[in-house]
Amino acid sequence: MTQAPELSSTPTLHGIGVSPGLVAGPIARMAPGISEPAVKTLSESRDVDKECERIALAAQTVKKNLELSAAQAHGEGRTLLETTAQMAADPTLTSSAQAMVRERNLVPERAVWEAADSLAQMLESLGGYMAERSRDVQDVRDRIVAVLTDSPMPGIPSLPEPFILVAEDLAPADTALLDPDKVVAFVTSEGGPTSHTAILARALGIPAVVGAGEAVTEQMRDGDIALIDGTKGVITLDPSEDQLRKARELASRVREFHGDGATKDGHEVQLLANVGDAASARSAAEAGAMGVGLFRTEFCFLDQPTEPSIEDQVTAYIGVLEAFPGKKVVVRTLDAGADKPLPFLTDSTEINPALGVRAYRTTRRDPEVLAHQLEALAKAEAATEAHVWVMAPMISTVEEAQAFTDLARSYGLKTCGMMIEVPSAALMADRMFEHADFASVGTNDLTQYVMAADRLLGPLADLNSPWQPAVLRLIKTACDGAAPKSRPVGVCGEAAADPALAVVLVGLGVASLSMTARALPDVDAVLKSVTMDECKRLADLALDCAYAEQARAAVRAELPILEELGL
């Protein structure tokens, strides 16, 4: 536990603040996962019929609880819960578990575990949609076993009041169920600043602290009141009345963005949104985004076992482009692999997928997938009024930049560029811009590659900071490489959503910042408080620092508006 005496006399704990906001509430801990019950047989005193009946009753209880939670949930979360409730009601699982109790005399929890495992394996062997359902079977299995063994129910707790969720980490299925009206903040012991849990927290606007470590989360007990500062990564246990009042005050201030990103002296900075589908594009347009700086096309197809048809792709792309008539939409070609595998494009047996055949590199094996995507994109552009800019992820060599941009132009796409997320691309930027019309820096990957630190690992979170001077120097090299030809360089990694870092990036020469739509008002407000010269001065200040925390603290100290806005 780290003390932060400047804040208050109440106990404070520290983690990594990944989603801004100050909020208080009671703590609810996520129950640990259910572990596999041992192979045990029923003692002679136990009645086999009664044990079989217990399995049926437990399945019914699980079904009812899931239906109740579904009734209170919205959107994707509701669908997910309804599907899981149906699975709990399916008699296949209960009857095969009951058969194991009768035939092998197994204890019910072991019988349910084994029956669910064979059902899940069977579904997986069918592939596609059915294979996806195997995860639901495992979820139902854990819930039934929890009832049978009288253990806490796994997953997100369901409480009548809003609460602060404390967990080891959140699985993608858990995060889909997060309801921002119920979960007002969360704290995890694992996870880093660019893990998908962190990205999702920012997208949902839920203040979050990750990578706090077990020693910290263990001190957060069910029902106790805590104050979470998602900007600073500070957790205050038992906050004072004054601290609670400040949190309420900040929460009541609503800031808006009006599509006019600029510095105080009127130097335009395009503030764009990161989107993954038509719905997020529409809400980004409503939030005032000046366009899209990163459309993660792979998000449209994550659950597809086979390559989507050109028609399906055209429909998905039109859905996003239509939200921004007359505006720029930067479309990234499929970034498959590592933490975002696409079954039809990536090899799940690779030992080191982050360094493997991912992103643009998949064209080495399946060039036609990129060709189809570019064809679909050109068709979608023709059907809408958006200005499509296309870029490829993970470009590592000048040859790749040339091959990609030549190919994209051959489909009639006019503005063709690349992502800079491999250090080699930043170092070779001047030569890259002989081919690329623009570049967007993916700071999430650039940081993980330059620091050689897996972006998903909590224990390496300090290395994975985009404030690392080595990362800032590479961004400067990229901007300097673009300057002679006046090519625009944007940033679309999570760094763009940090209002203090945004100022530094603009000072380094970055022309546009793309982020989750929720971060637009904060970044806008801070940018409007500084002139271009001040941005340059703060960029120099950060570049001059020897280490990340020093750079962050030095820049923040020069931006008093951050404190005023609670950022």
Pick 313 or 443: Cβ nearer ligand PEP: 443
User: What is the pairing mode between strands 22-29 and 225-229?
Assistant: antiparallel
Q: Cα separation of 139 and 143, whole Å?
A: 6
The binder of ligand PEP chosen from 21, 192, 488, 493 (CB under 6 A): 493
Q: Does 421 bind ligand PEP (CB under 6 A)?
A: yes
Q: What amino acid is encoded at 112 in this protein?
A: V
Pick 251 or 354: Cβ nearer ligand PEP: 354
Closest-CA residue to 56 (of 137, 147, 138, 117):
147
Closest separation in Å from C-beta 514 to ligand PEP: 8
The secondary structure of 41-78, three-state, reads ECCCCCCHHHHHHHHHHHHHHHHHHHHHHHHHCCHHHH
Q: Does 444 bind ligand PEP (CB under 6 A)?
A: yes
Q: Let me know the angle formed at the C-alpha of 60 by 54 and 63, rounded to the nearest 5 degrees.
A: 145
Q: Let me know the angle formed at the C-alpha of 60 by 54 and 65, rounded to the nearest 5 degrees.
A: 125
Q: How many residues bind ligand PEP (CB under 6 A)?
A: 10
Pick 59 or 463: Cβ nearer ligand PEP: 463
Pick 381 or 494: Cβ nearer Mg ion: 494
Residue 52 catalytic? Answer: no
Pick 62 or 294: Cβ nearer ligand PEP: 294
CB-based contacts of 473, cutoff 8 Å, min separation 6: 543
Closest-CA residue to 377 (of 407, 403, 400):
407
Pick 84 or 440: Cβ nearer ligand PEP: 440
To 10 degrees, the CA torsion angle through 458, 522, 285, 384? -70
Q: Does 442 bind ligand PEP (CB under 6 A)?
A: yes
Closest separation in Å from C-beta 211 to ligand PEP: 17
User: What is the pairing mode between strands 328-332 and 387-392?
Assistant: parallel
Closest separation in Å from C-beta 442 to Mg ion: 4
CB-based contacts of 241, cutoff 8 Å, min separation 6: none
The binder of ligand PEP chosen from 141, 232, 296, 552 (CB under 6 A): 296
- Selection from Mg ion, ligand PEP, none that 142 binds (CB < 5 to 8 A by kind) is none
The binder of Mg ion chosen from 437, 445, 494, 498 (CB under 5 A): 445
Q: Cα separation of 88 and 144, whole Å?
A: 8
- The secondary structure of residue 558, as a DSSP letter, is T
Q: Cα separation of 177 and 78, whole Å?
A: 8
The binder of Mg ion chosen from 288, 291, 293, 442 (CB under 5 A): 442
Q: Does 443 bind ligand PEP (CB under 6 A)?
A: yes
Element spanning 447, H or E: helix 443-450
Name which of residues 415 to 434 contact Mg ion (CB under 5 A): 421
Closest separation in Å from C-beta 289 to ligand PEP: 16
Residue 492 catalytic? Answer: yes
- Selection from ligand PEP, Mg ion, none that 492 binds (CB < 5 to 8 A by kind) is ligand PEP
Q: Cα separation of 172 and 80, whole Å?
A: 12
- The secondary structure of residue 336, as a DSSP letter, is -
CB 255 within 8 A of CB 499: no
Q: Does 509 bind ligand PEP (CB under 6 A)?
A: no
Closest separation in Å from C-beta 445 to ligand PEP: 3
Q: Does 492 bind ligand PEP (CB under 6 A)?
A: yes
Name which of residues 310 to 349 contact ligand PEP (CB under 6 A): 335
- Selection from ligand PEP, Mg ion, none that 197 binds (CB < 5 to 8 A by kind) is none
Q: Does 236 bind ligand PEP (CB under 6 A)?
A: no
Which residues carry out catalysis?
A: 196, 492
Interacting residues with Mg ion (CB under 5 A): 421, 442, 445
Interacting residues with ligand PEP (CB under 6 A): 294, 296, 335, 421, 442-445, 492-493
